[in-house]
Structure 1
Amino acid sequence: MKLNTRIFGEVDIEDEKILTMPFGLVGFPQLQKFALIHDKDKPVGSVWYLQSMDDPDIALPVIDPLSVKPDYNPQIKEDDVELLEPLTNKNLLMLVTISVPEDITQMTVNLNAPILINTDTCKAAQIEIIWGKEEYVTKYPIYDYLNSNRD
Protein backbone atom coordinates (compact mmCIF):
# COMPACT_ATOMS: atom_id res chain seq x y z
CA MET A 1 0.00 0.00 0.00
CA LYS A 2 1.36 3.40 -0.98
CA LEU A 3 0.69 6.38 1.24
CA ASN A 4 1.75 10.01 0.85
CA THR A 5 2.57 11.05 4.42
CA ARG A 6 3.13 14.47 5.90
CA ILE A 7 6.43 13.50 7.59
CA PHE A 8 7.97 10.78 5.39
CA GLY A 9 6.62 11.67 1.96
CA GLU A 10 5.53 8.70 -0.12
CA VAL A 11 5.98 5.36 1.62
CA ASP A 12 5.20 1.89 0.36
CA ILE A 13 4.14 -0.50 3.12
CA GLU A 14 3.65 -4.20 2.44
CA ASP A 15 0.08 -5.19 3.30
CA GLU A 16 1.24 -7.96 5.64
CA LYS A 17 3.21 -5.40 7.70
CA ILE A 18 0.23 -3.15 8.43
CA LEU A 19 -0.72 -3.23 12.10
CA THR A 20 -4.39 -3.58 12.97
CA MET A 21 -5.59 -1.83 16.12
CA PRO A 22 -9.34 -2.53 16.42
CA PHE A 23 -9.76 0.02 19.23
CA GLY A 24 -7.39 2.64 17.84
CA LEU A 25 -5.22 4.73 20.12
CA VAL A 26 -6.05 7.00 23.03
CA GLY A 27 -7.39 10.15 21.39
CA PHE A 28 -7.63 8.47 17.97
CA PRO A 29 -10.15 5.61 18.25
CA GLN A 30 -11.11 5.97 14.58
CA LEU A 31 -7.57 5.20 13.39
CA GLN A 32 -7.13 1.45 13.22
CA LYS A 33 -4.40 0.75 10.65
CA PHE A 34 -0.78 1.70 11.27
CA ALA A 35 2.71 1.08 9.97
CA LEU A 36 5.76 1.09 12.19
CA ILE A 37 8.43 3.21 10.51
CA HIS A 38 11.98 3.16 11.77
CA ASP A 39 15.56 3.27 10.61
CA LYS A 40 16.66 -0.38 10.51
CA ASP A 41 20.25 0.74 11.14
CA LYS A 42 19.34 2.31 14.48
CA PRO A 43 19.18 0.13 17.57
CA VAL A 44 16.15 -0.69 19.68
CA GLY A 45 15.69 2.29 21.94
CA SER A 46 15.67 4.73 19.06
CA VAL A 47 12.62 6.79 18.25
CA TRP A 48 10.31 5.07 15.78
CA TYR A 49 7.02 6.28 14.30
CA LEU A 50 3.58 4.77 14.31
CA GLN A 51 2.27 6.07 10.99
CA SER A 52 -1.49 6.03 10.55
CA MET A 53 -2.56 4.37 7.32
CA ASP A 54 -6.04 5.88 7.79
CA ASP A 55 -4.81 9.48 8.06
CA PRO A 56 -1.48 10.27 6.37
CA ASP A 57 -1.09 13.42 8.47
CA ILE A 58 -0.76 11.46 11.73
CA ALA A 59 2.49 9.80 12.77
CA LEU A 60 3.16 9.33 16.46
CA PRO A 61 6.71 9.01 17.80
CA VAL A 62 7.14 5.86 19.89
CA ILE A 63 9.95 4.17 21.79
CA ASP A 64 10.67 0.92 23.61
CA PRO A 65 9.81 1.71 27.26
CA LEU A 66 12.69 -0.44 28.53
CA SER A 67 15.15 1.90 26.86
CA VAL A 68 13.97 4.84 28.99
CA LYS A 69 12.94 2.90 32.13
CA PRO A 70 14.85 -0.40 32.34
CA ASP A 71 12.75 -1.72 35.23
CA TYR A 72 9.46 -1.15 33.36
CA ASN A 73 7.26 -4.18 34.00
CA PRO A 74 3.59 -3.19 33.83
CA GLN A 75 0.86 -5.54 34.98
CA ILE A 76 -2.05 -5.77 32.59
CA LYS A 77 -5.41 -7.50 32.53
CA GLU A 78 -5.57 -10.76 30.62
CA ASP A 79 -8.71 -9.53 28.88
CA ASP A 80 -6.71 -6.67 27.36
CA VAL A 81 -4.36 -9.02 25.49
CA GLU A 82 -6.84 -11.68 24.34
CA LEU A 83 -7.16 -10.15 20.89
CA LEU A 84 -3.36 -10.34 20.53
CA GLU A 85 -3.13 -14.08 21.24
CA PRO A 86 -1.03 -16.07 20.84
CA LEU A 87 1.31 -13.61 22.53
CA THR A 88 4.77 -14.75 23.63
CA ASN A 89 8.01 -13.11 24.73
CA LYS A 90 9.36 -13.71 21.20
CA ASN A 91 6.54 -12.03 19.28
CA LEU A 92 5.73 -9.21 21.71
CA LEU A 93 6.83 -5.70 20.88
CA MET A 94 5.94 -3.07 23.48
CA LEU A 95 6.12 0.64 22.70
CA VAL A 96 5.06 3.85 24.41
CA THR A 97 4.04 7.12 22.79
CA ILE A 98 6.25 10.18 23.03
CA SER A 99 4.80 13.62 23.63
CA VAL A 100 6.91 16.40 22.14
CA PRO A 101 5.85 19.85 23.36
CA GLU A 102 7.16 23.13 21.96
CA ASP A 103 9.90 23.08 24.60
CA ILE A 104 11.52 19.74 23.71
CA THR A 105 13.31 19.60 27.06
CA GLN A 106 9.86 18.76 28.47
CA MET A 107 9.49 15.67 26.22
CA THR A 108 7.74 12.73 27.94
CA VAL A 109 6.47 9.20 27.34
CA ASN A 110 3.20 7.69 28.48
CA LEU A 111 4.16 4.71 30.63
CA ASN A 112 0.55 4.23 31.74
CA ALA A 113 -0.75 3.14 28.33
CA PRO A 114 1.75 1.00 26.40
CA ILE A 115 1.08 -0.27 22.91
CA LEU A 116 1.42 -4.04 22.62
CA ILE A 117 2.09 -5.54 19.20
CA ASN A 118 2.03 -9.20 18.21
CA THR A 119 4.73 -9.16 15.52
CA ASP A 120 3.54 -12.49 14.08
CA THR A 121 -0.08 -11.45 13.51
CA CYS A 122 0.39 -7.66 13.25
CA LYS A 123 -2.41 -7.16 15.75
CA ALA A 124 -1.92 -4.37 18.26
CA ALA A 125 -3.65 -2.67 21.16
CA GLN A 126 -2.98 0.24 23.43
CA ILE A 127 -3.80 -0.88 26.94
CA GLU A 128 -4.00 0.79 30.31
CA ILE A 129 -1.93 -0.79 33.04
CA ILE A 130 -3.75 -1.84 36.20
CA TRP A 131 -0.98 -2.01 38.81
CA GLY A 132 1.81 0.45 39.35
CA LYS A 133 -0.10 3.52 38.19
CA GLU A 134 1.79 5.66 40.69
CA GLU A 135 5.11 4.61 39.18
CA TYR A 136 4.04 4.47 35.53
CA VAL A 137 2.87 7.99 34.88
CA THR A 138 1.49 9.44 31.68
CA LYS A 139 4.23 12.07 31.53
CA TYR A 140 7.57 10.39 32.27
CA PRO A 141 10.44 12.76 31.27
CA ILE A 142 12.88 11.43 28.66
CA TYR A 143 14.74 14.41 27.21
CA ASP A 144 17.91 13.74 29.19
CA TYR A 145 17.90 10.10 28.09
CA LEU A 146 17.45 10.93 24.41
CA ASN A 147 20.00 13.73 24.56
CA SER A 148 22.64 11.49 26.18
CA ASN A 149 22.10 8.70 23.61
CA ARG A 150 22.36 10.72 20.41
CA ASP A 151 24.40 9.18 17.61
Structure 2
Amino acid sequence: MKIDTARFGEIDVNEERLMTLANGIPGLEHFTTYFLLPADDKDESPFYFLQSAEESGLCFFLADPFSFYPNYEVNLDDSTLDQLDIKDPEHALVLSILTVQGSLQEATMNLKAPLVFNTVARTGKQMVLKQEYGIKEPLLKQVVAQEGE
Protein backbone atom coordinates (compact mmCIF):
# COMPACT_ATOMS: atom_id res chain seq x y z
CA MET A 1 0.00 0.00 0.00
CA LYS A 2 1.34 3.43 -0.93
CA ILE A 3 1.22 6.14 1.72
CA ASP A 4 1.99 9.78 1.03
CA THR A 5 4.07 11.46 3.75
CA ALA A 6 5.20 15.05 4.10
CA ARG A 7 8.63 14.06 5.45
CA PHE A 8 9.53 11.02 3.33
CA GLY A 9 7.42 11.42 0.19
CA GLU A 10 5.48 8.42 -1.03
CA ILE A 11 6.33 5.21 0.80
CA ASP A 12 5.32 1.68 -0.08
CA VAL A 13 4.27 0.11 3.24
CA ASN A 14 3.38 -3.52 3.71
CA GLU A 15 0.02 -3.63 5.51
CA GLU A 16 1.60 -5.99 8.05
CA ARG A 17 3.71 -3.05 9.30
CA LEU A 18 0.69 -0.91 10.19
CA MET A 19 0.10 -0.33 13.90
CA THR A 20 -3.24 0.53 15.43
CA LEU A 21 -3.44 2.88 18.40
CA ALA A 22 -7.10 2.33 19.25
CA ASN A 23 -7.35 5.55 21.27
CA GLY A 24 -4.89 7.48 19.12
CA ILE A 25 -2.49 9.84 20.83
CA PRO A 26 -3.98 12.37 23.26
CA GLY A 27 -5.05 15.40 21.27
CA LEU A 28 -4.94 13.40 18.05
CA GLU A 29 -7.42 10.65 18.93
CA HIS A 30 -8.98 10.49 15.46
CA PHE A 31 -5.71 9.29 13.90
CA THR A 32 -5.29 5.64 14.84
CA THR A 33 -3.21 3.99 12.11
CA TYR A 34 0.57 4.44 12.05
CA PHE A 35 3.72 2.68 10.98
CA LEU A 36 7.19 2.67 12.51
CA LEU A 37 10.21 3.55 10.43
CA PRO A 38 13.67 2.90 11.86
CA ALA A 39 15.84 6.01 11.56
CA ASP A 40 18.57 4.00 9.85
CA ASP A 41 18.49 1.22 7.27
CA LYS A 42 20.27 -1.30 9.50
CA ASP A 43 17.83 -1.13 12.44
CA GLU A 44 20.76 -0.37 14.76
CA SER A 45 19.71 3.12 15.80
CA PRO A 46 17.62 3.81 18.93
CA PHE A 47 15.62 6.33 16.85
CA TYR A 48 12.37 5.78 14.97
CA PHE A 49 9.72 7.76 13.15
CA LEU A 50 6.06 7.05 13.86
CA GLN A 51 4.26 8.12 10.70
CA SER A 52 0.49 8.40 10.47
CA ALA A 53 -1.02 6.41 7.61
CA GLU A 54 -4.01 8.78 7.66
CA GLU A 55 -2.39 12.23 7.79
CA SER A 56 0.72 12.86 5.68
CA GLY A 57 2.02 15.65 7.92
CA LEU A 58 1.68 13.74 11.20
CA CYS A 59 4.98 12.15 12.13
CA PHE A 60 6.62 11.73 15.53
CA PHE A 61 10.33 11.36 16.21
CA LEU A 62 10.80 8.59 18.79
CA ALA A 63 13.64 6.98 20.70
CA ASP A 64 14.23 3.93 22.80
CA PRO A 65 14.29 5.48 26.30
CA PHE A 66 16.38 2.62 27.73
CA SER A 67 19.27 3.57 25.41
CA PHE A 68 19.50 6.96 27.12
CA TYR A 69 18.15 6.19 30.60
CA PRO A 70 19.31 2.65 31.51
CA ASN A 71 17.46 2.78 34.86
CA TYR A 72 14.16 3.79 33.27
CA GLU A 73 11.26 1.57 34.33
CA VAL A 74 7.92 0.94 32.70
CA ASN A 75 5.58 -1.24 34.72
CA LEU A 76 2.63 -2.36 32.64
CA ASP A 77 -0.49 -3.15 34.62
CA ASP A 78 -2.73 -6.10 33.75
CA SER A 79 -5.26 -3.82 32.05
CA THR A 80 -2.63 -2.45 29.63
CA LEU A 81 -1.21 -5.92 28.99
CA ASP A 82 -4.73 -7.18 28.21
CA GLN A 83 -5.63 -4.17 26.07
CA LEU A 84 -2.48 -4.61 23.97
CA ASP A 85 -2.70 -8.41 24.13
CA ILE A 86 0.90 -8.65 25.37
CA LYS A 87 1.51 -12.17 26.62
CA ASP A 88 5.29 -12.22 26.11
CA PRO A 89 7.49 -9.29 27.24
CA GLU A 90 9.60 -9.88 24.11
CA HIS A 91 6.66 -8.57 22.07
CA ALA A 92 6.54 -5.22 23.88
CA LEU A 93 8.33 -2.20 22.45
CA VAL A 94 8.53 1.00 24.50
CA LEU A 95 9.41 4.26 22.77
CA SER A 96 9.35 7.88 23.90
CA ILE A 97 8.40 10.94 21.88
CA LEU A 98 11.21 13.40 21.29
CA THR A 99 10.96 17.15 20.93
CA VAL A 100 13.77 18.60 18.87
CA GLN A 101 14.07 22.36 18.58
CA GLY A 102 17.43 23.12 17.11
CA SER A 103 20.05 20.42 17.54
CA LEU A 104 19.77 16.87 18.85
CA GLN A 105 21.93 17.93 21.82
CA GLU A 106 19.02 20.14 22.94
CA ALA A 107 16.31 17.53 22.36
CA THR A 108 14.02 16.40 25.14
CA MET A 109 12.30 13.08 25.71
CA ASN A 110 8.87 12.44 27.18
CA LEU A 111 9.57 9.76 29.79
CA LYS A 112 6.26 10.35 31.60
CA ALA A 113 4.06 9.15 28.73
CA PRO A 114 5.78 6.52 26.58
CA LEU A 115 4.23 4.70 23.66
CA VAL A 116 3.93 0.97 24.24
CA PHE A 117 3.54 -1.36 21.26
CA ASN A 118 2.77 -5.04 20.83
CA THR A 119 5.04 -5.81 17.89
CA VAL A 120 3.20 -9.04 17.06
CA ALA A 121 -0.43 -7.88 17.32
CA ARG A 122 0.61 -4.46 15.92
CA THR A 123 -1.28 -2.49 18.55
CA GLY A 124 -0.12 0.42 20.61
CA LYS A 125 -1.05 2.87 23.29
CA GLN A 126 0.36 5.99 24.89
CA MET A 127 0.30 5.56 28.63
CA VAL A 128 0.99 7.89 31.53
CA LEU A 129 3.32 6.36 34.10
CA LYS A 130 2.81 6.73 37.84
CA GLN A 131 6.55 7.04 38.36
CA GLU A 132 8.02 10.53 38.75
CA TYR A 133 9.35 11.05 35.23
CA GLY A 134 9.23 14.31 33.32
CA ILE A 135 7.79 15.12 29.92
CA LYS A 136 10.87 17.12 28.90
CA GLU A 137 13.86 15.14 30.11
CA PRO A 138 17.14 15.88 28.27
CA LEU A 139 17.78 13.26 25.60
CA LEU A 140 21.53 13.52 26.06
CA LYS A 141 21.64 13.73 29.83
CA GLN A 142 25.40 13.15 30.05
CA VAL A 143 26.14 15.99 27.60
CA VAL A 144 23.88 18.35 29.54
CA ALA A 145 25.55 17.37 32.84
CA GLN A 146 29.05 17.94 31.42
CA GLU A 147 28.12 21.37 30.04
CA GLY A 148 26.81 22.41 33.47
CA GLU A 149 30.11 21.64 35.22
CA distance in structure 2 between the partners assigned to 1:73 and 1:116 by the alignment: 12
Task: Give the count of matched residue pairs.
Answer: 143
Structure 2: how far apart are the matches of 1:102 and 1:54? Answer: 27
**In structure 2, C-alpha distance between the alignment counterparts of 1:92 and 1:30, rounded to whole Å:** 24
Listed one character per residue, the Cα deviations across residues 55-114 of structure 1 (whole Å, up to 9, x for unaligned) are 011110001110110111123432233211133221111101001124654310100111
**Cα distance change, pair 87–40 in 1 and its aligned pair in 2 (3 A):** farther
Verify the 8 A CA contact 2:86 2:92 in the aligned structure 1.
no
- Give the match's secondary structure for 1:90: helix
Match of 1:83 in 2: 83
TM-score (norm 1): 0.85
The answer as to whether partners of 1:93 and 1:116 remain within 8 angstroms in 2 is yes
CA RMSD of aligned residues (A): 2.1
Whole-Å Cα distance in 2 between the matches of residues 93 and 104 of structure 1? Answer: 23
Aligned-residue offset at 1:20: 0.4
Distance 1:120 1:10 in 2: 25
Unpaired runs of 5+ residues, structure 2, are 144-149
User: What is aligned with 1:34?
Assistant: 34
Structure-2 residue corresponding to 1:137: 134
**1:41-120 equivalent positions in 2, closer than 5 A:** 41-45=42-46, 47-102=47-102, 105-120=105-120
Residue 56 to residue 87, structure 1, CA distance change in 2 (3 Å): farther
Q: Report the 3-state secondary structure (helix = DSSP H, G, I; strand = E; otherwise coil) of the residue aligned with 2:51.
A: strand
Separation of aligned partners in 2, 1:22 and 1:75? 20
Opposite residue 56 of structure 1, the aligned amino acid is S
C-alpha distance in 2, partners of 1:9/1:126?
26
CA contact (8 A) 2:3 2:11 kept: yes
Gaps of 5+ in 1: 147-151
- The answer to whether the 8 Å contact 1:36/1:51 transfers is yes
